[in-house]
Structure 1
Amino acid sequence: MRIEIWSDVVCPWCYVGKRRLETALAGFEHRDDVEIVYRSFELDPSAPQHGHELTTPVLARKYGRSEDEMRQMQLQLTEVAAEEGLAFRLLENVHTNTIDAHRLLHLALDEGGPALQRDLKEALLAAYFVRAEDVGDHDVLHAAATEVGLDDVRVKEVLTGDAYAAAVQADIAQARAYGATGVPFYVVDEKFGISGAQPAEVFAQVLERAWAEARPTLEMAPGGEACGPDGCAV
């Protein structure tokens, strides 16, 4: 089974959704047969490469709210995240660009497969939301990438060039083709779509259904007389 996840590393609900999916997978009998691949989605491609402004005033302007209202919303989301074991620092987050983070996630997938990509995704989310670091900053990105095992030289090559930029745009185009307008967005076996950070129970239901439909079992009628491997006892 393959789960593709469209998300951004500055999307708080993507981190919450990640934890909820992990909870569902922990109780899924066939979890060892599940492959997770992260796809790119930029919430704000126009964001500055190096964040200087906090997200609170940026979001307040974007959604037509006061900064006090936005702070209260961020504090409420912080409480939701805490229920999933995440210690968010949303009031300290900076508004920053994520294109380079996404390019590194593609590098991780190429170099080490879904497992390495998953490790880098977790490292980047933790850097931004738990430590309030700027994930548009190349020093932060380099540290996260090399700490999970990516080659120092390859990381520098990607960060100083434009490798995987086309792959990022292809991911975004695919999300739009699926009808996704926001993240997180999940696609299971190219058949089942899940929008948003749903409760773990919802993820669990979809996992069970997808597994059952991909591997149907026969419904047997009551047995009748038959011959076995040793012949027929008539």
Structure 2
Amino acid sequence: MEIKYWSDIACPFCYIGSTRMKKALKELNLYDETPLEFKSFQLDPTLPTKTDKTMLENFSSGHGMTTEQATAQIEQISKMGATDGLKVDLLNAVPTNTLDAHRLIKLTDSLGNRDLTERVIDAFYQVYFSNGESIADHAVLKKAATAAGLDAKKIDEVLNSKQFEREVCSDEIEAQKLGIQGAPFFVIDNKYGISGAQPYETFVQALQQVQAKEG
């Protein structure tokens, strides 16, 4: 079994959904033997790297909501994350571009160290959802990635260039070809698709069904 999943660091449902999928894999003793590939999917590639907009302003304008509606929706998402033991402080998140975070994830993935890749992805989610820091700030990215174990020199080389932009773009083109219009989206064995942050039990059931079909 192998799993590819399209995800964005700025997506709370990606954070929640991938956490549930990984938990389900561990529950079924499949995690260690199942390749799990993070595929880049920028929810809004037009966002700037620097902004004075608050998440509330960005969320309400982007979803056509009043401030009150946006606040209620953000609070609901935060509670959803809390049920999975995640701190999703979406209200204080900084709505900025995620391309450089994706490029660093691609760098990490190219090194072939799964544990390191998972630590870097988790560190970036922490930056965005727990720390209220800009995921587009190079100093912030470098601090988080080095703390996770990524080599500082390699980080600088990528951030000071356009390395791995093509790989990020390739993931997004692949998503378009597959008809994937939102994230998270999980593809198991290039056959079975799961869309969104489904309940944990749904992931368990889906994995069991694939196991039974694939033998």
Normalised TM-score (structure 2): 0.95
Q: Report the residue type matching 2:126 in the other structure.
A: A
Shift of 1:115: 2.6
Shift of 1:111: 1.5
Structure 2 vs 1, CA of residues 100 and 69 (structure 1 numbering), >3 Å: closer, same or farther? Answer: same
Aligned to 1:75: 75
Question: What is the rounded CA distance, in whole Å, between the counterparts of 1:156 and 1:213 in structure 2?
Answer: 45
1:131-150 correspondence to structure 2 within 5 Å: 131-150=131-150
Matched position secondary structure for 1:212: helix
Aligned to 1:11: 11
Provide structure 2 residue ranges, at least 5 long, that are not aligned to the other structure: none
Question: What is the rounded CA distance, in whole Å, between the counterparts of 1:209 and 1:19 in structure 2?
Answer: 20
Q: Report the residue type matching 1:77 in the other structure.
A: I
Structure 2 vs 1, CA of residues 30 and 63 (structure 1 numbering), >3 Å: closer, same or farther? Answer: closer
Matched position secondary structure for 2:38: strand
Matched position secondary structure for 2:118: helix
Q: Report the residue type matching 1:47 in the other structure.
A: L
1:120-139 correspondence to structure 2 within 5 Å: 120-139=120-139
Matched position secondary structure for 2:39: strand
Larger radius of gyration: 1
1:47-196 correspondence to structure 2 within 5 Å: 47-196=47-196
Which whole-Å deviations, capped at 9, do the CAs of 1:41-99 have from their partners, x for residues lacking one? 11111101123311211121122111121011101111111111112211111110000
Contact 1:42 1:99 in 2 (8 A): yes
Q: CA RMSD in A?
A: 1.2
Contact 1:54 1:95 in 2 (8 A): yes
Contact 1:8 1:42 in 2 (8 A): yes
Question: What is the rounded CA distance, in whole Å, between the counterparts of 1:48 and 1:88 in structure 2?
Answer: 22
Which whole-Å deviations, capped at 9, do the CAs of 1:107-147 have from their partners, x for residues lacking one? 00012433322111111001110111111110111111111
Aligned to 2:203: 203
Structure 2 vs 1, CA of residues 30 and 86 (structure 1 numbering), >3 Å: closer, same or farther? Answer: closer
Aligned residues: 215
Question: What is the rounded CA distance, in whole Å, between the counterparts of 2:210 and 2:113 in structure 1?
Answer: 23
Normalised TM-score (structure 1): 0.88
Matched position secondary structure for 2:36: strand
Contact 1:102 1:168 in 2 (8 A): yes
Q: Report the residue type matching 1:45 in the other structure.
A: P
Provide structure 1 residue ranges, at least 5 long, that are not aligned to the other structure: 216-234
Question: What is the rounded CA distance, in whole Å, between the counterparts of 1:111 and 1:56 in structure 2?
Answer: 37
Question: What is the rounded CA distance, in whole Å, between the counterparts of 1:110 and 1:25 in structure 2?
Answer: 23
Question: What is the rounded CA distance, in whole Å, between the counterparts of 1:123 and 1:129 in structure 2?
Answer: 10
Contact 1:56 1:70 in 2 (8 A): yes
Confirm or deny that 1:25 pairs with 2:60: no
Shift of 1:31: 3.0
Runs of at least 4 residues off by over 6 Å: none
Which whole-Å deviations, capped at 9, do the CAs of 1:204-224 have from their partners, x for residues lacking one? 112112222222xxxxxxxxx
Question: What is the rounded CA distance, in whole Å, between the counterparts of 1:134 and 1:51 in structure 2?
Answer: 9
Question: What is the rounded CA distance, in whole Å, between the counterparts of 1:32 and 1:61 in structure 2?
Answer: 42
Confirm or deny that 1:40 pairs with 2:67: no
